[in-house]
Amino acid sequence: MHSARFKEEVIPLQNSLCRFAKGLLHDPFEAEDVVQEILARLWSRKDSLESIDNIKAFAFRMTRNLCLDKIKLRKQAVSDVEKNTLPVLEFNPHEQAEINDMATVIQNIIRLLPEQQRMVLQLRSVEELSFEEIEEIMEMSVNSIRVTLSRARKTVNEIYQQHFNR
Amino acid sequence: MNKAEVHNLIDKYYRGDTTLEEERVLLDFLESDMNNEFPSEKAQFSFFKKSREEKLTEDLFEIPDKEPIQIRSYSFGFVMRAAAALILALGLGYLLFLVAGSPLLETSTEANVQSEVLLPDGSHVWVHSLSHLRYPRAFEKDKREVFLDGEAYFEIVKDQAKPFIVHTHEVITQVVGTSFDLRNYGKEENVELTVFAGKVLFGSATKVAVAAGDQMIFEKKNKQVHKNLLKGLNALAWKNKQLQFDDAPLDQVLADLSRYYNIRITRKTKEELNCHFTGSFNNPRLEDMINALSFSMNIQFQLDNGIYYIDAHNCSGAQ
């Protein structure tokens, strides 16, 4: 791949990749590091990128894997959502002040989701990727992507209702 | 869109079946819905929208420029303007750092407690008792810096582009990727470095390169670095719970015991001795060590007022 094509097809992905990494890692600096590394890796193998059908999905998958590695290293605890109990959403006073900003509330709720659900939700609802692309990134079937997506959306709604209709 | 249609779309959304086009329609509706009949969905969609608009402030990757660097001459005015911009940028950066500078995390251990720490880059640190390790939540782009009081064993993930630096008061230990033990208790006269793998730069004003297998000593008093020729095998005894001696002179055996058990040991008489000891012990109790040494080297231990006095004038040992 020539550097002109790299500039056209890969470089513009950095915003999306960075948002995706941030959604997984909750750490903007670490997310930037991850994306920087992904871009450097892609650059170093740019000659073999020609043979890849969907570079976007490929870059997302690399990002996903690298983030998951980082999370594994952190030994992050398994989210309670996976144990079928709804975690309680609590706000500190500072966050309470921002509570009118509903987007922030949703962001906090999404953080409580298991990684798989968080990734699928973000790839679909934020990055607006097709099911085929998500299939490639997540290495899941379209059917289980729909199920995961449905579960994520329902859980977000449930926690939201629980919190505001008490 | 009538109400039934909206409900229908929202149900579809929760089943994971909406198309992107349908979700856009839903977003338009929710944004214009002044009655806010669907607060949860509205909040969700406004978060997604807000996220989509999030942009990086700068590029994370610059395509390496293979063109030869052109030397251009700049007018004085340009240089001045560039310099002013640079100073402004630095100043702003520093201000940002002051305001938002990431606070350091700290791991502190009490007596008889050790702690294992995973650093943000995946490097592993074992912190000895009565020590403090401070490190950032995320490392900087060009280096990885941590601060140590006390002793710790480091296994550092290799990253050529980001040297790993341990600050121990005035002494700096810098590596790329390696494993080493660093000891700097405030009350002790020396800073000690033992390198197990890789290469390490060590020192304050001037630094020396230390190779795997070597132990260096930095004397705090005169700020000199020298190699410890009597290093022995027990630099990591605290972590591995293992004491090993291979034809070790008695004085070294006693020094290692003193350090391992955190006890005071002194010889009754200070004559030159030629007694050596060989043996390996797994998680030994102090009584067992005393028995083993007394028996095999023919020396006597005597505990008096918290200090172990050693009578070694008849000592014998594999020699």
Measured between CA atoms, the residue of chain A closest to residue B117 is A74
Q: Torsion angle of alpha carbons B268, B269, B275, B278, nearest 10°?
A: 30
ipTM over 0.90: no
Whether the pLDDT of residue B237 is over 60: the answer is yes
Span B109-124, mean pLDDT? 85
Q: How many helices (H) and strands (E) are present in chain A, helices listed first?
A: 9, 0
**Of residues B193, B103, B113, the one with CA closest to residue B148:** B193
Domains of chain A (ranges; CATH) run: 1-76 (1.10.1740), 78-166 (1.10.10.10)
- B42 reaches A (C-beta below 8 A): yes
Lowest mean pLDDT among A103-107, B127-131, B197-201: A103-107
State the number of CA atoms in the 13 A half-sphere of A47 facing the CB.
1
Phi, psi values for residue B53, rounded to 5°: -85, -10
Domains of chain B (ranges; CATH) run: 3-51 (no CATH), 104-227 (2.60.120.1440), 237-311 (3.55.50.30)
Whether the pLDDT of residue A4 is over 80: the answer is yes
Measured between CA atoms, the residue of chain B closest to residue A122 is B48
Whether the pLDDT of residue B204 is over 50: the answer is yes
Q: Which residue has the tokens 């601060």?
A: B147
Mutate: best of B26, B63, B96, B97, partner A, most A CBs <10 A: B63
At B125-141, the pLDDT tens digits run 999 988 999 998 888 88
Whether the pLDDT of residue A98 is over 50: the answer is no
Q: Does the distance separating the beta carbons of A32 and B60 come in below 8 Å?
A: yes
pTM of the model: 0.46
Q: pLDDT grade, residue A13 (50/70/90)? A: very high
Q: pLDDT grade, residue A79 (50/70/90)? A: very low
State the number of CA atoms in the 13 A half-sphere of B192 facing the CB.
19
Beta bridge partners of B111: none
**Which residues of A are less than 8 Å from B55 in CB distance?**
15
Q: Does the distance separating the beta carbons of B43 and A103 come in below 8 Å?
A: yes
- Mean pLDDT of all residues belonging to chain B: 84
Distances (CA, A) of B1 to B8, B15, B28, B268, B294: 11, 20, 11, 97, 94
Span A86-95, mean pLDDT? 51
Measured between alpha carbons, how far is B64 from A43 in angstroms, rounded to an integer?
9
Q: pLDDT grade, residue A111 (50/70/90)? A: confident
DSSP-assigned states of every residue in A82-140: GGT-PPPP---HHHHHTTT-HHHHHHHHHTTS-HHHHHHHIIIIIT---HHHHHHHHT-
Whether the pLDDT of residue B65 is over 70: the answer is no
